[in-house]
């Protein structure tokens, strides 16, 4: 895009210089993100101001992102989820957010702004952007909604028909819900911790594979290789959009898992703060929220986005009253370093069959 625009503008030196300068200004901003979030629908106001979007680098998971940042990788903004911000801030990787420079801060859902990991130690460390569910997604042509439950994942008749995430915390939240320990999480007793591990061991007997990229789960459910998987709500939307009979279990009695992700201002940022906050304001604008709801199936942090979005989709996603949605949710929360390390070690053993 850079070369195309400057080539077309090259008929006059002045036009070429101006076009090149505008593009260079916008692309000076660097963002460390999950693949796919370079979608310009998320930051239209930034493009209107600078003429072009920022530069993106990608990570596969937050462990990789943390390791690269600790090793000296530089960017201006990054997009982790709220359960890792304590760890990143403690490691000196973040600088606080100045909420007075956020045009839409007061419009963000109060249930999102108060999630652990957004603000702590007297500072705000993350600007919440997207949120959604992790849940049990199943083929409705294979299993009746009346029969679906978290306990069904241990049914011996389903050997080789299930997929779980490779990430320990995501799998563990499934186990917490299945064993009824959500009210005590993350301060679990040893008995509760062991019960959760035992549940995951039982499910392991039926697991065909552990997915590390959501597209693996999408494709396996679409082809019928597996008929159930613990995944993100985007998988549900992708399947339905492609005509696959699928649904995410949303049983408030068994519970639902809610995750909140957002953008952090990295300590090693080199782009001027004004440009950084222009991007943060674009990301949290209601127009951005409308786009992510209608095109990605994720919820947005700005309450006004739900007023703009297609009401049929908002209703279908169970987001008609997003503030009350949080009441029965199990949030992915920060874990102590000791619990985090132990959980990862135990999950690796489970995946290996021990």
Structure confidence by residue, pLDDT tens digits, 45-78: 999 999 999 999 999 888 899 999 999 999 999 9
Predicted local distance difference test score (pLDDT) of residue 5:
31
Contact between residue 127 and residue 104 where contact means Cβ atoms under 8 Å apart:
no
pLDDT band at 233 (very low <50, low <70, confident <90, very high): confident
> What integer is the mean pLDDT of 325-352?
84
- Give the global pTM: 0.80
Range among 252-261, 264-273, 305-314, 328-337 with highest mean pLDDT value: 264-273
Which neighbouring-strand residues pair with 330? Answer: 257
Residue 143, φ and ψ in degrees, nearest 5? -135, 135
pLDDT value of residue 327: 67
Dist. CA 25–CA 29, nearest whole Å = 8
Strand, helix or coil at 185?
coil
Across 334-347, average pLDDT:
88
- 2-130+259-323: what CATH class? alpha beta
CA 284 to chain centre: 15
Asked whether the predicted pLDDT for residue 18 surpasses 60, the reply is no
* 3-state secondary structure (DSSP) of residue 196: helix
What pLDDT is stored for residue 24 in this prediction?
42
Please write the tens of the pLDDT for every residue from 177-213: 999 998 888 899 999 999 999 999 999 999 999 998 8
Tell me what the mean pLDDT of segment 7-28 comes to: 46
Does domain 132-257+332-351 fall into CATH 3.40.190.10?
yes
On the question of a common fold for 2-130+259-323 and 132-257+332-351, the answer reads: yes
The pLDDT score that the predictor gives to residue 252 is 58
Give percent of the chain with pLDDT exceeding 90: 67
Q: What is the mean pLDDT of residues 28-32?
A: 97
216 pLDDT exceeds 90? yes
pLDDT of residue 340: 86
Of the segments 1-5, 11-15, 212-216, 345-349, which one has the largest average pLDDT value?
345-349
Burial state string for 162-190 with b = 16 or more CB within 10 A and e = fewer than 16: bbbbbbbbbbbbbbbbbbebbeebbebee
Pull the structure tokens for residue 287.
């127009």
pLDDT at 8: 31
Name which residue leads in pLDDT, 17 or 148. 148
What pLDDT is recorded for position 253?
65
Question: How many residues in the chain?
Answer: 354
pLDDT of residue 329: 74
**CA end-to-end span of the chain, whole Å?**
51
> DSSP label at 129?
E
C-alpha to C-alpha distance for 233 and 243, rounded to whole angstroms: 16
Kindly report the three-state secondary structure assignment for every residue of 78-105. Answer: ECCEHHHHHHHHHCCCEECECHHHCCCH
Q: Given pLDDT bands bounded at 50, 70 and 90, which one contains residue 2?
A: very low
Report CA-CA distances (Å) from 326 to 25, 112, 321, 330.
39, 9, 10, 8
pLDDT of residue 10: 34
Token pair of 278, please?
């222009």
Average pLDDT (239-248) is 92
236: pLDDT strictly greater than 80: yes
- Candidates 308, 304, 326; CA nearest to 107 is 304
Domains in the chain: boundaries: 2-130+259-323, 132-257+332-351
Q: Residue 4: its pLDDT value, please?
A: 31
């Amino acid at each position: 895009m850079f070369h195309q625009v400057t080539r077309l503008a090259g008929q006059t030196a002045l036009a070429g210089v101006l076009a090149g300068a505008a593009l260079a200004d916008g692309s000076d901003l660097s963002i460390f993100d999950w693949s796919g979030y370079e979608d310009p629908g998320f930051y239209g106001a930034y493009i209107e101001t600078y003429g072009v979007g920022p530069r993106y680098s990608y990570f596969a998971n937050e462990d990789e992102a943390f390791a690269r940042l600790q090793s000296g990788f530089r960017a201006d903004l990054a997009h982790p989820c709220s359960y890792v911000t304590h760890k990143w801030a403690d490691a000196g990787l973040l600088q606080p957010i100045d909420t007075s420079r956020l045009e839409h801060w007061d419009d963000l859902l109060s249930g999102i702004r108060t999630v652990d990991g957004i603000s702590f130690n007297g500072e705000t460390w993350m600007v919440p952007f997207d949120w959604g569910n992790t849940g049990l997604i199943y083929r409705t042509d294979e299993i009746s909604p009346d029969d679906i439950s978290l306990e069904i994942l241990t049914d011996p008749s389903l050997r080789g028909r299930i997929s779980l995430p490779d990430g320990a915390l995501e799998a563990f939240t499934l186990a917490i819900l299945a064993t009824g320990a959500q009210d005590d999480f993350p301060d679990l007793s040893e008995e509760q911790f062991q019960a959760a591990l035992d549940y995951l061991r039982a499910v392991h007997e039926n697991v065909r594979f552990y997915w590390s990229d959501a597209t693996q789960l999408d494709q396996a459910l679409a082809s019928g290789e597996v008929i159930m998987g613990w995944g993100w709500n985007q998988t549900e939307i992708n399947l339905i959009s492609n005509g696959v009979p699928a649904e995410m279990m949303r049983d408030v009695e068994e519970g639902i898992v809610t995750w909140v992700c957002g953008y952090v201002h990295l300590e090693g940022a080199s782009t001027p703060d004004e440009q950084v906050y222009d991007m943060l304001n674009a990301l949290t604008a209601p127009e951005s929220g409308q786009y992510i709801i209608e095109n990605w199936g994720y919820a947005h942090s700005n309450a006004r986005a739900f007023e703009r979005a297609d009401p049929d989709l908002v209703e279908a996603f169970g987001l008609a009253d997003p503030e009350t949605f949080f009441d029965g949710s199990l949030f992915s929360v920060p874990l102590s370093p000791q619990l985090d390390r132990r959980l990862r070690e135990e999950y690796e053993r489970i995946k290996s069959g021990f």
